[in-house]
């Protein structure tokens, strides 16, 4: 039996963080409720970071406070520092993602520190979380896990060293991000293999951007390597303000379409998801969409059929 695929929608965090128009808190809550009603059981709803650097996410605590807690759902937030982790605990997040970059240039731009200094902050943040009376799930998110426009390809030794330290800090999952959206399937396969060897027993997820149209291929390679946790954003929104050239995330509806076409179970209603696109476009003030949203009605997943030995007599010779 094929494993259950867990899709986490990151629209409210990664999708909105680089948008010019500020989305009201109430509208974020409505969007989150729509995503939950469509079948998502995991949402990344914001981040506890400096509001002067990422003003779109300044209301993360209020968004969390307004969202109902449903059985089996996970409301996740992102943090870089012990202070951010404390704020996430106080806000009642179900999952805290501690982010570090595998690129020195990106780490300096994104976290204002070298990889080593940023990792030490994350280790302190992890101690804050694990010391809580009822600690939420702890995820280690590795940005620029495969490639950086400044530093080039990420050395597997760097990726392995970061994964080892995050595992020791107590993370339950490691999420590998193609922040630039330029990695190819061989790099993703190698990265997953490297992290699995460096951090045995820790599950692996993928956070894929789609700058060069490779995200779906990378997702499938990840699935074939045993990955079942994937991030995506409605309408392909997103980008990193501290990664030159980075474009949006893989569109949730495209990734869902890929999984549906392979007969994999996600629990998400494609029609309900597509129905959220017009309101999202109105919120951000520009068109959003994806391959699936522009395509004709979806067809059922293909079922393999026995080889009949060639063209049947009824098929004729016309093309």
Q: What is the pLDDT of residues 210-227, one digit of tens each?
A: 999 999 999 999 999 999
Say if residue 310's pLDDT is above 90: no
On the question of pLDDT at 315 being above 70, the answer is: no
The pLDDT of residue 206: 98
User: What is the mean predicted confidence (pLDDT) over 121-125?
Assistant: 96
Q: Which is more confident, 300 or 71? A: 71
Residue 95 lies in a domain: yes
- Pick the range with the lowest mean pLDDT from 52-56, 153-157, 184-188: 52-56
**For residue 2, what are the CA distances in angstroms to 93, 228, 280?**
30, 10, 32
pLDDT at residue 316 in the model: 43
Is residue 67 a part of any domain in this protein?
Answer: yes
Query: What is the pLDDT, as a whole number, of residue 292?
Result: 82
**pLDDT beyond 60 at 318:** no
**Residues facing 43 on adjacent strands:** 9, 75
Q: Is residue 37 part of a domain?
A: yes
Three-class SS state of 70: coil
The pair of structure tokens assigned to 135 is 């600690």
Do the beta carbons of residue 100 and residue 115 sit within 8 Å?
A: yes
Query: What distance in Å separates the CA atoms of residue 208 and residue 182, rounded to the nearest whole number?
Result: 9
Question: What pLDDT was estimated at residue 244?
Answer: 62
pLDDT tier at 250, thresholds 50, 70, 90:
very high
Structure tokens that stand for 215 in this block: 């995200």
pTM: 0.91
Decide if 245 is inside a domain.
Answer: yes
Output the pLDDT for position 246: 66
CA 234 from chain centre, in angstroms, equals 11
In a domain, 83, yes or no: yes
Whether the CB-CB separation of 252 and 233 falls below 8 Å is answered with yes
Full domain range(s) for residue 263? 6-315
Question: The domain spanning residue 228 has which CATH number?
Answer: 3.20.20.70
Q: Which of 89-98, 127-136, 306-315 has the lowest mean pLDDT?
A: 306-315
Q: Which residues contact 205 (CB under 8 A, 6 or more apart)?
A: 8, 139, 173, 174, 175, 176, 227, 229, 230, 231
Within-domain flag for 1: no
Cα–Cα distance list, 122 to 26, 30, 49, 155, 310 (Å): 31, 32, 13, 21, 60
* Residues whose CB is less than 8 angstroms from the CB of residue 96 and which lie 6 or more positions away in sequence, other chains included: 76, 77, 78, 79, 85, 88, 89, 129, 136, 137, 138, 139
Rounded to 5 degrees, what are φ and ψ at 103? -115, 130
Pairwise CA distance, residues 194 & 160, whole Å = 6
List, by residue number, the catalytic residues: 240
Q: Which residue has the higher pLDDT, 111 or 301?
A: 111
Predicted local distance difference test score (pLDDT) of residue 293: 80
What is the overall mean pLDDT for the chain?
A: 91
- Alpha carbon dihedral 104, 110, 114, 118, in 10-degree steps, equals -130
Q: How many Cβ atoms from other residues are within 10 Å of residue 11's Cβ?
A: 30
- Calculate what percentage of the chain has a pLDDT beyond 70: 91
| Residue 317 confidence class, pLDDT cut points 50, 70, 90 | very low
Q: Is the residue at 14 inside a domain?
A: yes
Q: For residues 148 and 150, give the distance between their C-alpha atoms in angstroms, rounded to a whole number.
A: 5
The two three-digit tokens of residue 250, written as one number: 């893989």
Does the pLDDT at position 169 exceed 80? yes
Of 15-19, 25-29, 221-225, which gets the smallest average pLDDT? 15-19
Q: Is the pLDDT of residue 311 over 80?
A: no
Total count of domains within the chain: 1
With tokens 């012990």, the residue in question is 82
251 and 292 Cβ atoms separated by less than 8 Å:
yes
């Amino acid at each position: 039996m094929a494993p259950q695929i867990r899709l986490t929608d990151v629209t409210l965090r990664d999708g909105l963080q680089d948008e010019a128009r500020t989305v009201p808190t109430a509208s974020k809550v409505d969007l989150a409720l729509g995503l939950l009603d469509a079948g998502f059981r995991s949402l990344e709803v914001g981040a506890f970071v400096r509001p002067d650097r990422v003003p779109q996410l300044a209301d993360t605590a209020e968004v969390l406070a307004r969202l109902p807690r449903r059985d089996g759902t996970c409301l996740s937030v992102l943090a870089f520092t012990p202070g951010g982790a404390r704020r996430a605990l106080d806000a009642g997040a179900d999952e805290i993602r501690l982010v570090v970059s595998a690129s020195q240039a990106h780490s300096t731009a994104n976290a204002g520190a070298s990889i080593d200094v940023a990792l030490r902050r994350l280790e302190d943040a992890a101690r804050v979380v694990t010391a809580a009376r009822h600690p939420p799930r702890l995820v280690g998110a590795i940005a620029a896990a495969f490639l950086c426009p400044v530093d080039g390809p990420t050395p597997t030794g760097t990726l392995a060293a970061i994964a080892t330290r995050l595992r020791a800090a107590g993370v339950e999952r490691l999420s590998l991000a193609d922040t630039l959206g330029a990695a190819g399937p061989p790099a993703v396969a190698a990265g997953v293999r490297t992290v699995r060897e460096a951090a045995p027993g820790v599950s692996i997820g993928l956070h894929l951007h789609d700058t060069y149209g490779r995200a779906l291929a990378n997702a499938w390679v990840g699935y074939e390597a045993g990955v079942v946790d994937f991030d995506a954003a409605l309408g392909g929104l997103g980008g990193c303000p501290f990664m030159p050239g980075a474009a949006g995330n893989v569109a949730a509806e495209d990734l869902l379409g890929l999984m549906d076409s392979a007969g994999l179970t996600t629990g998400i209603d494609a029609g309900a998801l597509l129905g959220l696109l017009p309101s999202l476009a109105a919120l951000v003030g520009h068109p959003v969409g994806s391959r699936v949203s522009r395509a004709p009605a979806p067809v059922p997943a293909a079922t393999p059929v026995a080889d009949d030995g060639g063209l049947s007599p009824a098929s004729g010779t016309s093309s």
